[in-house]
Each structure stands twice: as C-alpha cells, then as structure tokens.
A and B are shown apart, each in its own frame.
Chain A
Amino acid sequence: MNSRRWQGFAAQAVLAAGLLLLLWLLLDTTAANLHERGIRSGFGFLREPAGFAIGESLLPFDSADSVLWALVVGLINTLRVALPAVVVSTLLGTFIGLGRLSPNLLLRGLCKAYVEALRNVPLLLQLLAWYFVVTDLLPAASAALEIMPHVFLSKSGLFMPWFGGGGACLDLPVRGEMTISGGASLTPEFLALLLGLSLYTAAYVAETVRAGILAVPRGQSEAALALGLSRVQSFRLVLLPQALRSIIPPLTNQHLSLAKNASLAVAIGYPDLVSVANTTLNQTGRAAECIALIMVVYLVLSLLTAWFSVWLERRTGHWAERS
C-alpha cells in the first residue's frame, strides 16, 4: 500500500518535471528564435506611450498614456460589459428556464422557442445583427431622439445627464452639430454587445436551470406539498436549495464562456481587451507578447470566476443542509 502511494507520487513528480521541462523548452526555443531573427522581444514596450486613442472607457485615457494602461482600460471595458451581462443573462435565463416548466402551454412553447432560436444561431451573427439593427434604426446624432428631457438616443448611443466634473452640478448632454457632447453615454457598440451576450447566454442559463430543477426527485416537492407548504414555499424552501447545487457548476461554465465571448466585441467596434491588444500588436509588432498577455488575463479571469463559484457552491451547500 505504502509503496503504491510512493509510486504514484513519483509518477506525478516526474510528470510535473516533464511538463515544466517542456514549457521551458518552448519558451527557450521561442526566445532563441526571436533573437536569431533579429526580432526584439520582451515586455518593455508596455511602458511606452500608446499613441492611439480609445473610443470609450470608464477610466480616463489619453494617447500619451502607456500601452499597459491602454490594456488595463481594455480589460475594464471587457468587465464593464461582461458583469452586467452575467447579471442580466442569469435573471432572464432563470425566468425562461422556469417558464419551460410552466403548466401554461403558451408560455412553455414561447420559452422553448426562445431557447432553440437563440442558442442555435452563432453568437457572432447575433451580435452583428443587433449592432446593425441598432445603428440602422436610430436617427443620426444631429437629429437625436430626446426620449426624456436631456436623454438622447441616436446612432451615437444613449446620452444621459451625469454628475459633472465639479461633482456639484449635473452635466447635461447637448445636441451639437456633429454629435452629442456632455453627460454620460452608452455607445451602440456597448448596447449591442450587452444585449447580444445577455440574450444568447440566457438561453443556456435557461437550460441549466431547467435541468437543475428537473434533477430534484419528484417525491421532494410532493412531500413538501403533503406537509402543507404552499407551491411557492415548496419551491423556495425545498426545490430551489437542492436544485441550486446542481445548477451552480454548469452556470459557472456559462458565465466563463460569456466572459470569453465578450472578446467578439472587436467585430462590432467595442474597445475591449482583445481590440486594444490587437491595435497594440499592430503598432508594436509584438505578436507573441500581446497574445500571451491576452491568454494570461483570460486565464486569471476564468480562475477567479471558478473560485467564486466554488465558494458559492459551499455556501449553497450549507444553506441546503441548514434548511
């Protein structure tokens, strides 16, 4: 027994060493080849001024800022669209998933149609469709719709009043000759991406929720009803806690793919991490470095999401035990 464990340990150690060796070989060969061909490598370019502008950002950005800061701005832009999309898709998906279990035939059919339509059309096509619907239908910025006082909707996006630079007074958007200035704005790129990602992911979330609820044995809800709980109570206190345990792991997968799907932003002109890294790659020519950076950032994002999900699973586990 002991020797078998030892063998197992040795096998794993050798495998790990082999993998490390392989990784080292890969990096070393790449570095040697780059050097041999006179290609500058390294991450020094991150400190150079970016030299390009970014269309929209939460953080202040100027073209004189560093490449690294440009990439951070891109990452924040990715999160700015991914986080709201996670919330919207989870809420919408849950309702649709429940709708698919509804005794009402019409509701059930509509929800099924939604799921089948949305998850069977490639996301890229959906994003392009939303984007062109948004930009084709809305009026030009000079003829923007004023849907509420000082709230403008046009091809340039949604403009609304926001707290001004001074902080004391409201910064009101003004319709200019060229476009609208002032206030806070959501661009059509952002809106189309948020909409596309949320609706697409909601279809998968709906299936996850439906499967999770169906996985709870029928006897559980029957027992709850027999104990005199109402339908709502039996759902909230008996069905949901048990369903959540099988819903959360696949739900995390959906949120992970959502974050990664957000990189399709580049197709419709939203300056996310990949878009900014693409531009950087072309200005500096540092292909290996830029691609490696994108990969590391997405890996870290995914690992963080996965850890959060493990934490959530434990929590819901306790909750299920307590109730």
Chain B
Amino acid sequence: MRLPTFAHRLRATIALAALLLPFADAHAGKTLEQIRQRAQLVCGVSTGVIGFSSTDSQGNWSGLDVDVCRAIAAAVLGNAGKIKYVPLTSQQRFTALQSGDVDVLLNNATWTLTRDASLGLHFTTVTYYDGQGFLVPKRLKISSARQLKNAEICVQSGTTTEKNLNDYFRMQGIKIKPVVFEKLETALKAFFSGRCQAYTTDASALAFIRSKEAPKPDDYAVLPELISKEPLGPVVRRGDDEWFAIVKWVVFALIEAEEYGITQANLEQMKASTDPVVQRLLGSAEDSGKPLGLDREWAARALKTAGNYGEIFERNVGDGSPRKLPRGLNAQWNKGGLMYAPPIR
C-alpha cells in the first residue's frame, strides 16, 4: 500500500508550503497603527547593561534606554505601562528589528554607515555619545594606550569594539592580540584573573566595571585615550517614515525640554508659560503633535513619564546612579556638549 503514504506526503508538503507563504508580507503596514491596535509598544533592549537597560530583582526594567522607550510609549499610547521589553544580544538585535519582532531598538547600538545604509534600518538620533577606552591593571604601570605593545586585550564579541581596536593600533603601528569572548561575564572574569593586560569597551561602561566588578578597584585604572566615536541611539526599521519621525522627535522633545527648563516636577506650571517654544512643545498653544500623527499632549506625556533628557541622564547614568558619569559630550549644546534638538515648530 504505497499510494496512500505518497498522497499523505504530498498533502503534508503542500500544507507546509502553504504555512510558509503568509510570511511573505506579514509585516507590511504602519508601525504606529500596529502599536495602537495591540495597545503595546515593543522595545528591543540589551540583555543587561546597568544604566542603559537592565532589570532589578523583581524583573522591572530601568535605564536610560528604557526611559526613552517609556517616553515613546507615553507619546504614542498615552499609557507607559503597556510596554514589552525584549532583551536581545548583539547578534540578535538587528535581525529582530528587521523581522518586525520589535518596534524600536534601544540596545546601545553604535550608529555606523554600514548599519545605517545596508541593514534595512535607520538610526534615528543620538541619546548617548560614547567612546571606546581601556581599563588596565595599575601594576603594569601603563599611562597611555600606546604602551600596549604586544598586549593581549580582552574584548566582548559582537560589537564595533573589535574593529576600532584594530583600526587604532594599526594606525599606531602597534601589534596587539585580541581575546574575544561571547559573554561579558566571561570576558571580565578572564581580565580580572590576569589573562589580558587590558580590557576594552565603551568608556561609559569602564568606570562602572572598575568600581563594581573589579576585586580591588584601586588596582585598576582607565586610560585617558578614547579611540573611537560611539554615538548610541534608537533604531527603527526602514520603510515607515512616520514612525521614524515619531521616535526621532520624542527624543528631541526630551532634549528640548531640558534646554528650556521643563522638568517632570514643574511640567504643570510650565504649561502656563508664555514662552512660545514651551507652549508649542507642551501643546498649550500650537498643536505640535499633528504633523507627527499624534495628539497635542504627546510631548507633555513623554516628559511626565520619563522627565527631560537631563533628568533621565542623572537618574540612570549620572550622579543619581551607581555609574556617576559626568555629562561630558552629553551636556546641552549651550553647556559645552553635543545635545542639540532641532527646533520644535
């Protein structure tokens, strides 16, 4: 009795093929509509970078990236509670965004040409200006990265870090040996056990690693050189210009609010401000939400939920946090930094 088997097989094959077909355009359609329909914003975050996105013992997410995600959700949904955080590794993150698993990616991804131009995604704007640095044991008596000749350098894989490392030392004419680990914990363990003469990653993380992860923080020093530019910010899928604009302008609203002194606390008083810029931002005069396809309260809700950019910074990575990072490049443009929001009008 061969024929029935054969017929079964054929039927199974056709069924399988039919199952695969709908995937052809499962993700067409507008991101904003989808978010509103499911009444939930899906943010792709890191698997745990304290200060940017990490969970506490109860599983609550916090961090600079998480606050930006909450601000976006408040602006488009009006309810910050409806957020799903999807933790993604550096290897998974772009694929998850491309395939529509997340609406926006806030995962410490560095804005580079290759990523922006060839991966089917758009970097919106910068929420943190970082740079790559080195942590070394003091006993090696190194005061500059140029002294790392022949050194073995521990690094976590799946980042722009490996390429910067190579570019920098190539320019200096210095040979080094990278030791590449998949997981942060293993890389740190290997470095602190003395396997490598230096550890390299974004400077925002180095000071924190030195104070929190080192067995004796005083035995380690961060070298002065920053060998790369690492602008980090939210990323969206290509093909939806409206959503791209919304994410970008929510961030600008947070930055603009700091410049004009609008905080989480004084938000209600500021609504009565006579400053036209503040009025436009908070929707008390012109409707700045309309061009974005949002209501006039969009920025006010974002600010009420997360606070302005300066507050978000202080709370997560600045003085109000264990990282205690200086504002540096991330200060407002009129205070010597690079944070500059285009006019909201």
> What residues make up the interface of A, taking CB atoms closer than 8 Å to B?
4, 7-8, 10-11, 14-15, 18-19, 21-22, 25-26, 29, 32-34, 36-40, 51-56, 63, 128, 131-132, 135-136, 140-142, 155-156, 176-179, 181, 187-189, 266-269, 271, 275, 278-279, 281-285, 287
**Hey, which chain B residues are within 8 Å of A22, CB to CB?**
13, 16-17, 20
Q: Could you tell me if A278 and B239 are in contact, using CB atoms closer than 8 angstroms?
A: no
Nearest CB on B from A313, distance (A)? 31
In this complex, the member of A8, A177, A271, A282 whose beta carbon has the largest number of chain B beta carbons within 10 angstroms is A282
Q: Could you tell me if B9 and A11 are in contact, using CB atoms closer than 8 angstroms?
A: yes
**Hey, which chain B residues are within 8 Å of A56, CB to CB?**
177
> In the complex, which of the residues A63, A128, A135, A281 contacts B166, with contact meaning CB atoms closer than 8 Å?
A63
> In the complex, which of the residues B24, B170, B186, B197 contacts A267, with contact meaning CB atoms closer than 8 Å?
B186
Q: Is B245 an interface residue (CB 8 A)?
A: no
From known contacts A267-B183, A283-B114, infer whether A275 and B163 are also in contact, taking CB-CB under 8 Å: no
**Hey, which chain A residues are within 8 Å of B166, CB to CB?**
51-53, 63
Nearest CB on B from A18, distance (A)? 4
Q: Could you tell me if A281 and B91 are in contact, using CB atoms closer than 8 angstroms?
A: yes
Q: Could you tell me if A275 and B157 are in contact, using CB atoms closer than 8 angstroms?
A: yes
Residue of A with least CB distance to B9: A15
Q: Could you tell me if B162 and A53 are in contact, using CB atoms closer than 8 angstroms?
A: yes
Q: Could you tell me if B20 and A26 are in contact, using CB atoms closer than 8 angstroms?
A: yes
Q: Is B159 an interface residue (CB 8 A)?
A: yes
User: Chain B 156-199 against A: per-residue CB contact (8 Å), 1 yes, 0 no?
Assistant: 01111011011100100000111111110011011001110100
With A and B bound together, what is the CA distance between A94 and B13 in angstroms? 45
With A and B bound together, what is the CA distance between A17 and B331 in angstroms? 63
With A and B bound together, what is the CA distance between A188 and B165 in angstroms? 22
Q: Could you tell me if A278 and B182 are in contact, using CB atoms closer than 8 angstroms?
A: yes
A sample of 12 cross-chain residue pairs with beta-carbon separation below 8 angstroms, ordered by A number, consists of A11-B9, A21-B17, A29-B24, A37-B237, A55-B152, A55-B179, A56-B177, A132-B193, A179-B152, A267-B183, A275-B157, A283-B160
Q: Could you tell me if A155 and B193 are in contact, using CB atoms closer than 8 angstroms?
A: yes
From known contacts A11-B5, A18-B13, A55-B178, infer whether A34 and B120 are also in contact, taking CB-CB under 8 Å: yes
With A and B bound together, what is the CA distance between A158 and B164 in angstroms? 28
Q: Is B265 an interface residue (CB 8 A)?
A: no
**Hey, which chain A residues are within 8 Å of B24, CB to CB?**
29, 32-33
Q: Is B90 an interface residue (CB 8 A)?
A: yes
- Additional A-B contact list (9), CB under 8 Å, known A21-B13, A52-B178, A285-B119: A7-B2, A7-B3, A14-B6, A37-B237, A39-B98, A131-B190, A278-B182, A285-B94, A285-B115
Residue of A with least CB distance to B154: A269
**Hey, which chain B residues are within 8 Å of A10, CB to CB?**
6
**Hey, which chain B residues are within 8 Å of A8, CB to CB?**
2
**Hey, which chain A residues are within 8 Å of B95, CB to CB?**
287
Q: Is B150 an interface residue (CB 8 A)?
A: yes
Q: Could you tell me if A25 and B20 are in contact, using CB atoms closer than 8 angstroms?
A: yes
From known contacts A25-B21, A53-B177, A267-B183, infer whether A37 and B239 are also in contact, taking CB-CB under 8 Å: yes
Residue of B with least CB distance to A19: B13
**Hey, which chain B residues are within 8 Å of A128, CB to CB?**
186
Q: Could you tell me if B163 and A52 are in contact, using CB atoms closer than 8 angstroms?
A: yes
Residue of A with least CB distance to B100: A37
From known contacts A32-B24, A128-B186, A179-B197, infer whether A51 and B163 are also in contact, taking CB-CB under 8 Å: yes
With A and B bound together, what is the CA distance between A49 and B25 in angstroms? 35
Q: Is B140 an interface residue (CB 8 A)?
A: yes
**Hey, which chain A residues are within 8 Å of B119, CB to CB?**
39-40, 285
From known contacts A29-B24, A37-B98, A39-B119, infer whether A178 and B6 are also in contact, taking CB-CB under 8 Å: no
Q: Could you tell me if B182 and A39 are in contact, using CB atoms closer than 8 angstroms?
A: no
Nearest CB on B from A53, distance (A)? 5
With A and B bound together, what is the CA distance between A51 and B24 in angstroms? 35
Nearest CB on A from B110, distance (A)? 11
With A and B bound together, what is the CA distance between A132 and B194 in angstroms? 11
With A and B bound together, what is the CA distance between A266 and B178 in angstroms? 13
Residue of B with least CB distance to A278: B157
**Hey, which chain A residues are within 8 Å of B177, CB to CB?**
53, 55-56
User: Chain B 1-12 against A: per-residue CB contact (8 Å), 1 yes, 0 no?
Assistant: 011011001100
From known contacts A25-B21, A55-B178, A179-B151, infer whether A38 and B120 are also in contact, taking CB-CB under 8 Å: yes
Nearest CB on A from B168, distance (A)? 11
Q: Could you tell me if A135 and B194 are in contact, using CB atoms closer than 8 angstroms?
A: yes
Q: Is B238 an interface residue (CB 8 A)?
A: yes
Nearest CB on B from A131, distance (A)? 8
Residue of A with least CB distance to B97: A37
Q: Could you tell me if B163 and A269 are in contact, using CB atoms closer than 8 angstroms?
A: no
Q: Could you tell me if B182 and A275 are in contact, using CB atoms closer than 8 angstroms?
A: yes
With A and B bound together, what is the CA distance between A34 and B197 in angstroms? 42
